[in-house]
Each structure stands twice: as structure tokens, then as C-alpha cells.
Amino acid sequence: MRENCRKPFPDVFVRAPCLRNGGILKQLRGWFSNVTKSSKNFQEKNTVGKLTIGYGLILVVLGIAGYYGSGQVSKTALIPVALGIPAIICGVLAEAKENLRMHVMHVAVLIGIVGFGGGVPGLLKMFSGDMGAGPLARGSLAVISAVFVALCVKSFIDARRSRKAREASE
């Protein structure tokens, strides 16, 4: 049995130089600062693209940390990276091209749903008491993706309401 796969996941944050003292995580904090504001500010500032970029970066960090946390044994630990890179691309496109925003954000939500679906088995293993690196990483993927999808759905609802309000005032 591979013993490296059973190490607790948080040890990775101690060993990874880019994650010590909050390195990348401090940078991500600024991207999510507007998310907790009111829905009106959420739409006006168009933080949904930045939220998607941040989500993608978190997935990339999660995948790399999981890969190195498993002792570079399990290549499947890089699956969050495969979800994070397209999410980052969707976020960049949503920020750059306003006419594509709705379409790429629906693709980003689909990525979030896939991430949630892929992470649920790990979440269930965590609830049954298995706190190894794999279940913890997959459980984290499920929780992060669920929060992302919920924020995107809220954004879609707010966008529809503001569009209807604009049409009614014209």
C-alpha cells in the first residue's frame, strides 16, 4: 500500500514554498473581496469573471498540492488542474468580451458541476472517517465547486432581474 497517499493533506501547505505564509492565497483574497457585497454591486462590478478566474486558480493550486502531497505518485491528483485551466480561460473571456460573457459563464458553471460531481465520492469518504489526502482533496473540490456554482446561479438570477428592470424602465 502506498503510505504517501495516506498523509494528511494540510502537510502539503507546509512543504510547498508558494503556499507558505499565504503566498498565492493572499493574492486570491483580493479577487473574492467583492463577492460578499450586495448583489447590485456584484453585477455592476462584473466580478463573476474574476470569481471564475479565482475558482480556476484555486483548482490549479488544489491539484498541484494534491499531486505533491501524494508523493508525486498519483497523476489523478492533477484532475482539478484539468478543470481549473478551462475555468481560468472562461473567466478571462468573460472579463475581456462582454458579448461572450453569458455563454462562457454557462460553460464555467458546467465545469463547476463536473467538479462537484467528481468530488462527491471523496466527500462521502470524508464523512465515513477516511481523512487521507485523496478523499480530502476530492471533498475540497466538491465544496469549492458547490460554492462556485451557487455564486454563479445567484449572479445569473441577479443579471436576469436587472435586465428585466432595465427593460421595464425604458
User: What pTM was computed for the model?
Assistant: 0.71
pLDDT of 156-167, one tens digit each? 998 889 889 888
> What is the domain partition of the chain in residue ranges?
45-169
pLDDT of 28-73, one tens digit each? 555 455 444 444 444 445 688 999 999 999 999 999 988 888 787 8
| Type of residue numbered 98 | E
